[in-house]
Amino acid sequence: MAETVTTRFLVATNEGVTQLSSRRGIDHLCEALPKTRLGRTARALLRSRLLSIDPAQPAPTQWSPRLLHLGGAPEALQRVNEARHHVLLTSAAAPCDQPRHAQAARLVARVLAAAMSGDLVDLDSDQLLAASPSPGGTTEPERFVLGNEWIGVFVTLAQERDAEHCIRVGTAGMHRFALPEVMASEVPYGHMLTAANILRALAFRLLSDGGIPAKFTLDAGDLLRFWGARPAPAGRLSLRLTPAESDCSGCSKALAVLPPTRRGTGLESGRATGCGDPVWWEERAAEAMPKLVSASPE
């Protein structure tokens, strides 16, 4: 496991930029942080060497190419890509300090974005973050919920040979918790939601357990836990996890989801011929996973 992990946020703004990385700027941000337990953690982090705010840079910057492929609302993405200035916030933490450290860093980033009238980009999950619902957009929930924009789930066309009419689904953001991303390739078009939900549930379980088994039985109730909701009775799904390359911009390592090995199905070598295993996706995966796009935390 890595000794330290980083979390990076970028503020894209058109405002005249005050250098908030100065001592006076840090004091201003500390005063703007909410008087909450997480706010106190963020204040201590902001005054430490574990968090840095780079001076504002005129766009385009080295981050500009990545901003073209973010997840987010089209109008907001256009605003981000047309912004004249970029400010980078980076925090470092030991894996054992996550996710609390990442929560505190994101709270600082929200306060920074509000101070600069900018949009906040999570460079680890490749997402444009939604504004906080609080006045001024400067709060962060005390309770950590993985489904609260901590990872992105992205869908692309599968690149594998003989995988026509298939998609590839993968996460971005797990590496900030010292865990590999999770992905599924050769997914039949009709099972995009099922694949995305398998990855969400698996991401929750990996973060909760802190281990990486080769064989795994997924509790479909973990999908609701991913969103912080009360789990309902749900199915179970046997999986194999094998090392793979990630599509995430900030991490090269992933775990690929595969059906259990079954003799005579073409899966013994770790992959099926053609577009995955349509029977497994239809009869096992789709039946086990709830058909949910999102859920409200409780």
Determine the pLDDT at residue 164: 66
Residue whose pair of structure tokens reads 């040979």 in the numeric block: 161
Cβ contact 260:212 at 8 Å: no
Q: What is the pLDDT of residues 36-55, one digit of tens each?
A: 999 999 999 999 999 999 98
Parallel, antiparallel, or unpaired for β 51-53 and 5-13?
A: unpaired
Other Cβ atoms within 10 Å of 106 Cβ, number: 25
Per DSSP, the chain holds a count of helices (H) and strands (E) of 9, 12
Determine the pLDDT at residue 263: 42
Determine the pLDDT at residue 206: 94
Contacts of 85 (CB under 8 A, 6+ apart): 12, 13, 14, 15, 17, 56, 57, 58, 59, 118
CA 293 – CA 186 distance, rounded (Å): 21
For residue 138, what are its two tokens? 């400067």
CA 151 – CA 149 distance, rounded (Å): 5
Contacts of 160 (CB under 8 A, 6+ apart): 166, 185, 186, 271
Determine the pLDDT at residue 21: 64
* Closest CA relative to residue 122, chosen from 78, 160, 71: 71
Cβ contact 109:89 at 8 Å: yes
For residue 40, what are its two tokens? 């106190």
Residues in the chain with pLDDT < 50?
A: 263-274
Determine the pLDDT at residue 262: 54
At 40, which helix (H) or strand (E)?
helix 37-46
Domain borders along the chain are 5-137, 152-288
Structural Rg of the chain based on CA atoms: 20
| Whole-prediction pTM | 0.90
Determine the pLDDT at residue 270: 39
